[in-house]
Amino acid sequence: MNNTWRISRRSMLRSLGAALALPSLDAMRAHGGSQVEDTLKVGYLYIPNGVAEGAWQPASVDASDRLLKLNPWMSPLEPFKKDILIPENMWTPRGNGHSAGTATWLTGGSYDDIRIDAGGTSVDQLAARKVGHGTMLPSLELSLEGEGFFSNSLPRNTLSWANEQLPASRETRPRMVFDRMFRRAGEGRVDRSVLDLVMDQSRSLKRRLGRQDALKIDEYLDAVRAVERRIEFAEKQASRYTHATRSSDLFQRPVAGIPADHAVYVQTMMDLMVLAFWSGATRVCTFMLDHGQSNRYFNFIDGVQGTWHALSHWKDFSGKTEDDDGVTSWASRKTKLDMYNTVTRWHHQQVAYLLERMQTLNDGEGSLLDHSMLLYGSSLADGHEHESENLPLMVLGQGCGTINSGRRIRYRKKRSLSAYHLATLQRLGAVTETFAETSDPMGELQD
């Protein structure tokens, strides 16, 4: 544990006292957007394999649906319930399941597993286009190294799409994430004239290619431009970061490789997400807390046996279905269901860790959590039934005062998750009336 990079409690307090005012928001606010548009951070925390009934619903609410008590499986989130909004009866009408559901969670499209096509650009990438020009990284895509079957499957590993056919790449190694934020590309060697040269060459190459091939060169050009912007940004910010790096151990570089302890791994990635938001390196971040059909063993949690995906099929406890490993078996449905829920609670616990970090960090007037909206949830409801309706979803944070938190929203009629995505984009100032199939933003967030 000791040699792993984390934000220590002490450094957190110290940086609070130091009033580092690191985020470059003040400078950016000058050019006239609203405060929400210039401040809001958006995040997406994805979990695979669904959630059983009872691990995502409040235990009691008052007459106006305000959360009084969460259910016992959600206990780690209890201290944060004023920052939680739980919408019920939302779904993704077009794509669902392990592969299509993951690939289209943020696009609102469908995915047929034949062509690589998620039906549209994902909401985080659209958000990055709107607000990313002011940050070093337009967006940050985090994931965890997979375990078991499907670890290399493209749709199960892809939430973010730069366009319907171009999956964004993702980072799984903590040190690489840190280096992208705080070290210059190529460690200083890359000369700007090198980039100018290859751009020039690409443009002349493009003119001689067919339409389809020219698109590929555009992809390359976009990538070079992004690097160029990042270097430019890093140059501007260099002194600021050097100062920050010295003044707090919050900026220590993580050790290479992947932490063996899964909780440390998840929390290290969460620290990086917090750091990215807090330092102003980006305002858009996705984090997959495992790929879309995770077969990771959670035996490291006391009382849990088996892989997450196997546990999600909790009604088969024989240990002899095609989803099982043939060794693990369970005494009854009840024990297996409890283990499935325990894995869900373990993830709630990690999310609580993230919320605590975000709550204690100052971000101008208010905490980082006050200025964020994070969507946390899955693309399946009950894992056993592969249910695609009433998805487990939560909105975390106050969204700069645009979210009336601490509530449950109960929809009588199924509501599409696209409505949330549209509402998010509009908060960031995107001039758009539609997202995927909807033109009806989720106004209920504020009601």
Does 246 help bind other proteins (rule: CB under 8 A)? no
Token pair for 18: 């130091």
In 7-53, which residue ranges form alpha helices assigned H by DSSP?
A: 9-18, 25-29, 35-39
Spell out, one character per residue from 278 to 307, where the chain touches other proteins: x when CB under 8 A holds, - when not: -------------------x----------
189 binds other proteins (CB under 8 A): yes
CA-wise closest residue to 7 among 371, 368, 314: 368
What DSSP designation does 81 have? G
Footprint on residues 343-372 left by other proteins (CB under 8 A) = none
Supply the DSSP symbol for 243: H
Q: Which of 26, 191, 261, 433 is in the footprint of other proteins by CB under 8 A?
A: 191
Min dist CB 211 to other proteins, Å, is 7
User: 67-70 and 58-61: which strand pairing?
Assistant: antiparallel
Stretch near other proteins under the rule CB under 8 A, chosen from 56-64, 106-114, 414-422, 426-434: 106-114
Q: Among 13, 52, 16, 3, which Cα is nearest to 314's?
A: 52
Question: Considering the complex, what minimum distance in angstroms separates the CB of residue 233 from other proteins?
Answer: 13
Q: Tell me which residues in 132-151 interact with other proteins (CB under 8 A).
A: 138, 141, 146-149, 151
Q: Which is nearer to other proteins, 19 or 260 (CB)?
A: 260
Report the C-alpha gap between 100 and 154 in whole angstroms: 10
Judged by beta carbon, residue 59 or residue 205, the one nearer other proteins is 205
Alpha-carbon 85 to chain mean position: 17
**376, containing H or E segment:** strand 372-377
Per CB under 8 A, does 207 bind other proteins? no
Task: Give the integer Cα–Cα distance in Å for 198 and 183.
Answer: 22
Dist. CA 25–CA 134, nearest whole Å: 9
Q: Are 434 and 444 in contact (CB under 8 A)?
A: no
Candidates 16, 21, 209, 238: give the one binding other proteins (CB under 8 A).
209
From residue 224, alpha-carbon distances to 89, 158, 326 in Å are: 42, 22, 49
Which positions from 304 through 323 interact with other proteins, judged by CB under 8 A? Answer: 315-318, 320-322
Question: In the complex with other proteins, which residue's Cβ is closer, 27 or 226?
Answer: 226
Applying CB under 8 A, which of residues 164, 271, 324, 363 lies at the interface with other proteins?
324
Q: How many CA atoms lie within 13 A of 70 on its CB side?
A: 22
Residue 153 token pair: 């499957």
**How many CB atoms are located within 10 Å of the residue 231 CB?**
18
Q: What angle do CA 44, 103, 320 make, to 5 degrees?
A: 105
A 10 A CB-CB count for 70 gives 22
Nearer to other proteins, 96 or 367 (CB): 96
Closest approach, Cβ 164 to other proteins, in A, equals 13
For position 223 contacting other proteins by CB under 8 A, the verdict is yes
Query: Smallest distance, Å, CB 383 to other proteins?
Result: 12
Q: Which residues are CB-neighbours of 219 under 8 A, at least 6 positions away?
A: 166
| Interface segment toward other proteins; rule CB under 8 A; list 10-18, 212-220, 266-274, 275-283 | 212-220
Dump the DSSP string for 287-310: EESS-TT---B-TTSTT--SBHHH
- In whole angstroms, the minimum distance from the beta carbon of 20 to other proteins comes to 27
Among 59, 205, 301, 352, binds other proteins (CB under 8 A): 205
190 binds other proteins per the rule CB under 8 A: yes
Among 34, 192, 222, 235, binds other proteins (CB under 8 A): 222
Size of the residue set binding other proteins (CB under 8 A): 75
Output the smallest distance, CB 323 to other proteins, in A: 9
Nearer to other proteins, 67 or 168 (CB): 168
Site string for other proteins, 150-169 (x = CB under 8 A): -xxxx--xx---x--xxxxx
Shortest Cβ distance from residue 259 to other proteins (Å)?
17
Report the C-alpha gap between 308 and 287 in whole angstroms: 18
Single out the residue of 111, 298, 330, 435 in contact with other proteins (rule: CB under 8 A).
111
* Minimum distance from residue 168 beta carbon to other proteins (Å): 6
Region 225-244 residues binding other proteins, contact defined as CB under 8 A? 226-227, 230
310 vs 373 by CB, closer to other proteins: 310
332 binds other proteins (CB under 8 A): no
Contacting residue, 172, 245, 360, 404, with other proteins by CB under 8 A: 172
- Alpha-carbon distance of 372 to 398, in angstroms, equals 6
Is 396 within 8 Å of 390 (Cβ atoms)? no
203 vs 410, beta carbon nearer other proteins: 203
Q: Is 285 left (phi over 0), alpha (psi -120 to 50) or beta?
A: beta
Binder among 9, 69, 133, 216 for other proteins (CB under 8 A): 216
Name the token pair of 252: 């220590």
